[in-house]
Structure 1
């Protein structure tokens, strides 16, 4: 199909996962009404130039890193919320924190879906999967001037930051106080005829994806779809294994555009009503938080979580360190479980001779790690002391990556052996933590 208008066609109806639970007034509260009536949106910015495969892969890698980092931000905020009445919450307040935690966790799960869709887009045109990202907070200059990512406990600052990241294209909205990215000159735009890709100064996540969509359309017209989509269809992540009905296998221009449309509709809602998108969910949560705080100024929905690493951040010397030995080891176990999750996903996306049963094992392992290791460890760490250097504060999951290279293990037998070895090491480390802490 060499129709350059393919991306503009409406997406056919697809079975969707149940949406996150929506309160009767979700997206319809006072704050939502203010945002909806304060002047509409500016015209979308022109897409930047993508005229060869390498530039398209480069920007898809940027999209993958953004989705990955944003997912970590949402999980950290969800882990930081109080979960029990004995943490100083009334029944109404506990119901609210439980609801917020569930909604934010659901949004984080959809960010993982977006990350998976980006991997499908990359492999469809012959690229390798990309699950690496910088440790948070991201290094200055790694993203465009208006984008910064950092771990934040739940609260007004975090919600305003999330709204800024998810805002629809053309909507004027400032980032949260204290989180404005370092302002610098915009990078030089790619020009027609350039052969080397470079970072582009996209204004919003929607602007990035719309430019990527334009790149797919232009390259399909320039090269022909058969020459553009050279990746093996069997390398695509599918709903059959991941159990996401929205997960689209990308094999041509039409499915590439459907994948991008799915990301845009769930995240920013620029082509529909933002009240139902991630942006609207965060607006509704912030509205409800402000109402509950007005009713009870002493309301504190968050554990005293300190954003801290186990080891010094290589590009941010001001990030504090966890000094409690048990909390530090639990944070290490969290990060190792997260590392194994990335190794498992990378093997799935770059698989070679695996059978269908083995691919199902990889996806089952990745989901098991997320919900049976990473989630309970994240809950636990936010109850543990950060250490004597931080009295009254608890630790938090740091999502630290131990090296900047990607997580590809290219040879099948070696990959499976290394995954099994790392799982055994993690289990043994878990037992040592239990024994040292005197646990059951």
Structure 2
């Protein structure tokens, strides 16, 4: 099927589409993390557990690449003079800010999740008849016509379609007004391979590097020019094939906990009532997850919107975000999928809903104030984890890691 053209005539069109891409990558990453956290670590046969452990590592690797894509989009936004943002809508999203074929749900690992992931990552022109439940009945947005000054949503069939449209639009825009005019952002605002310890990271300073960043996202997601075997789609397909084989051999095989993306409170931007956590102990753990997630977003926001920080301070922000992700959010989120939601949802466990609040993107540009708030929040997370650590080794370990991160940010703040 042919892809409808994506219209880009000026900077605001690119800005809007990159902000939309940032939300998309962010929410896709959260979906993969939720499925990863839900996988079991016990109670299976040796063959089944070995497969589940492989799937856990594969899901984690794909989620990490989605984090890379989010950072690349942030670089692209900085390069055109836009402030990167890590805000997004709350789950679930059926259409909403995205076209009808793009839905966002938090699902435990299993048939529904894999069907959803394969549909999201499908290459250009590929249809999946098993994905009807992941397409809303809302009509697509009206095509943008030449001469529209205010940006708005545009139709894209696949994630790759969106990025190809951005790449083609940037190429045409640079040809019309000049590369220097389009890529007016400071090179100092870019995430580099050295700072992020990520060889695939692309610092965007001109059209060539912008196209390289966009191609990196396309190739990792759906594959370059139809070569999808090692891309996300091919990797999910291999998991699907192994999963269906094991299920055929043992129909009772359940590789994941029955996790539910339950909230600590009704999300402010979702009209339909959402499941809420009713178990007090689970609720406390979910709040710790939300705090850790919020801190990661604040650390990344400071990095991508920093002002006069030194290289050492930027390195401290990156290391803090990585440690909070791997050492605090991941173990807390995994533990949460083992805990009951509450009496209203018998037989279901909880899972991180990655809750967003009104003010999570409302941060100031001034360095001293920003670092003071960061250090304070990290210290609060460490203290709250410590308060719930009695008899909870996972939470106790998270408390220690969060305290170490808080100390590193406080030390970096006081060093200047």
Q: TM-score, normalised by structure 2?
A: 0.91
- Please give the alpha-carbon distance, in whole angstroms, between the structure 2 residues aligned to 1:117 and 1:140: 24
Give the 3 Å change call, closer, same or farther, for CA 99–407 of structure 1 in structure 2: farther
Q: Deviations 1:216-274 (Å, cap 9, x if unpaired)?
A: 10110111011111000010001111111000000000000000000000001142411
Q: In the alignment, is the contact (CA less than 8 A) between 1:337 and 1:426 conserved in 2?
A: yes
1:353 equivalent to 2:308? Answer yes
Could you tell me which residue of structure 2 aligns to residue 250 of structure 1? Answer: 204
RCO (CA 8 Å, sep 6+): is it higher in 1 or 2?
Answer: 1
Could you tell me which residue of structure 1 aligns to residue 32 of structure 2? Answer: 74
Deviation beyond 4 Å, 4+ runs, structure 1: 435-440
Could you tell me which residue of structure 1 aligns to residue 264 of structure 2? Answer: 310
Could you tell me which residue of structure 1 aligns to residue 346 of structure 2? Answer: 391
* Aligned ranges 1:227-246 → 2 under 5 Å: 227-246=181-200
Cα RMSD (Å) of the superposition? 1.7
Shift of residue 51, structure 1, vs aligned partner: 0.6
Shift of residue 354, structure 1, vs aligned partner: 0.1
Q: Deviations 1:341-394 (Å, cap 9, x if unpaired)?
A: 000000000110000000000000000001110111011111112122223321
The alignment partner of 1:104 has SS state of helix
Shift of residue 432, structure 1, vs aligned partner: 2.2
Give the alignment partner of residue 284 of structure 2, picking from 303, 314, 329: 329
Q: In the alignment, is the contact (CA less than 8 A) between 1:323 and 1:387 conserved in 2?
A: yes
Could you tell me which residue of structure 1 aligns to residue 402 of structure 2? Answer: none
Give the alignment partner of residue 371 of structure 1, picking from 303, 314, 326: 326
Give the 3 Å change call, closer, same or farther, for CA 175–133 of structure 1 in structure 2: farther
Runs of at least 5 residues in structure 2 that lack an aligned partner in the other structure = 397-416
Shift of residue 143, structure 1, vs aligned partner: 1.0
- Please give the alpha-carbon distance, in whole angstroms, between the structure 2 residues aligned to 1:170 and 1:345: 35
* Aligned ranges 1:19-418 → 2 under 5 Å: 42=1, 44-84=2-42, 87=43, 89-138=44-93, 140-174=95-129, 176=131, 178-181=133-136, 183-314=137-268, 315-403=270-358, 406-418=361-373
Greater helix proportion: 2
1:420 equivalent to 2:375? Answer yes
Shift of residue 140, structure 1, vs aligned partner: 4.5
Q: How many residues align?
A: 394
- Please give the alpha-carbon distance, in whole angstroms, between the structure 2 residues aligned to 1:236 and 1:135: 28
Q: TM-score, normalised by structure 1?
A: 0.86
Q: In the alignment, is the contact (CA less than 8 A) between 1:47 and 1:210 conserved in 2?
A: no
Shift of residue 46, structure 1, vs aligned partner: 3.9
The alignment partner of 1:244 has SS state of coil
- Please give the alpha-carbon distance, in whole angstroms, between the structure 2 residues aligned to 1:174 and 1:263: 25
- Please give the alpha-carbon distance, in whole angstroms, between the structure 2 residues aligned to 1:404 and 1:169: 37
The alignment partner of 1:274 has SS state of coil
- Please give the alpha-carbon distance, in whole angstroms, between the structure 1 residues aligned to 2:344 and 2:138: 35
- Please give the alpha-carbon distance, in whole angstroms, between the structure 2 residues aligned to 1:435 and 1:295: 42
